[in-house]
Amino acid sequence: MKIYGDSISGNCLKVKWTADFLGRGYEWIETDVLQSQSRTADFLAMNPAGQVPAVILDDGRPLAQSNAIIFHLAEGSALIPADAYDRGRMLEWMFWEQYSHEPYIAVARFQVKYLGKAVAELEPRILERGAAALARLELQLGQTPFLVGDRVSLADVALVAYTRVSHEGGFGLEAYPAVRAWVARVEQALGIA
């Protein structure tokens, strides 16, 4: 399997962490989005969306979108709950992550850390929605050790990627003790630093 990813991207790291956790062999192909490497003709022929991560599976088929990739890789593993309702809850968190978390936490991080903006220059809506996303996580993680109960799942992989570096976009986790403890649990469970 080939993973096309940018090491600065939480979405790409999700794929790497899942493959590593599952012991799946792969070739990492660093694809620098700041240098427009996901916009070359060769890359666009593989993934017309021009986004990373993208993978070429062992059988040669391409697959894109981080949560779709990790779901495919983890099929049949302990990262996907056996119970149908818990699988649904896992997917609920994964869909929420791409709609209500990543567009704010990750975007703020990118603009501050990589584009050099001050937090005060960010669109107020980004800051409001990012804080709301962290509050939502805090509420859940005050009740359960992981997002879907007592064990790590793809929901945790999806959401820890940008939450663990949210401070780089101006979202400190000091006010979210349950989130901080969860980040440490997920990092330990996945073997990431």
**What does the pLDDT look like over 74-88, one tens digit per residue?**
999 999 999 999 999
What pLDDT was estimated at residue 75? 97
Residue 49, in any domain of the structure: yes
Indicate the average pLDDT of the chain: 96
47 and 95, same domain (yes or no): no
Q: Which residues contact 149 (CB under 8 A, 6 or more apart)?
A: 81, 86
114 and 69, same domain (yes or no): no
What pLDDT was estimated at residue 114? 95
CATH number of the domain that 108 lies in?
1.20.1050.10
57 and 96, same domain (yes or no): no
Is the distance from CB of 55 to CB of 1 less than 8 angstroms? yes
Q: Number of folded domains in the chain?
A: 2
Query: Residue 84, exposed/middle/buried by CB under 10 A (0-12, 13-18, 19+)?
Result: exposed
What pLDDT was estimated at residue 160? 98
What pLDDT was estimated at residue 189? 96
pLDDT beyond 80 at 170 = yes
Task: Give dist(CA 67, CA 70) in Å, integer.
Answer: 5
Residue 162, in any domain of the structure: yes
What is the pLDDT confidence band of residue 37, given thresholds at 50, 70 and 90? Answer: confident
Each residue of 152-164: pLDDT tens digit? 999 999 999 999 9
What pLDDT was estimated at residue 92? 98
56 and 109, same domain (yes or no): no
Which among 51, 74, 97 is the end of a domain?
A: 74
What pLDDT was estimated at residue 34? 86
Q: Are strands 54-56 and 2-5 parallel, antiparallel or unpaired?
A: antiparallel
Range of the domain at 170: 84-190
Q: Lowest mean pLDDT: which of 24-38, 96-110, 134-148, 174-188? A: 24-38
Which among 50, 74, 98 is the end of a domain?
A: 74
pLDDT beyond 90 at 193 = no
Task: Please compute the mean of the pLDDT values over residues 117-140 and round it to a whole number.
Answer: 98
CATH number of the domain that 59 lies in?
3.40.30.10
Task: Please compute the mean of the pLDDT values over residues 56-65 and round it to a whole number.
Answer: 96
Which among 43, 74, 105 is the end of a domain?
A: 74
Task: Please compute the mean of the pLDDT values over residues 130-152 and round it to a whole number.
Answer: 97
91 and 177, same domain (yes or no): yes
Residues linked to residue 63 through DSSP beta bridges, in sequence order? 55
Task: Please compute the mean of the pLDDT values over residues 94-120 and round it to a whole number.
Answer: 97
95 and 181, same domain (yes or no): yes
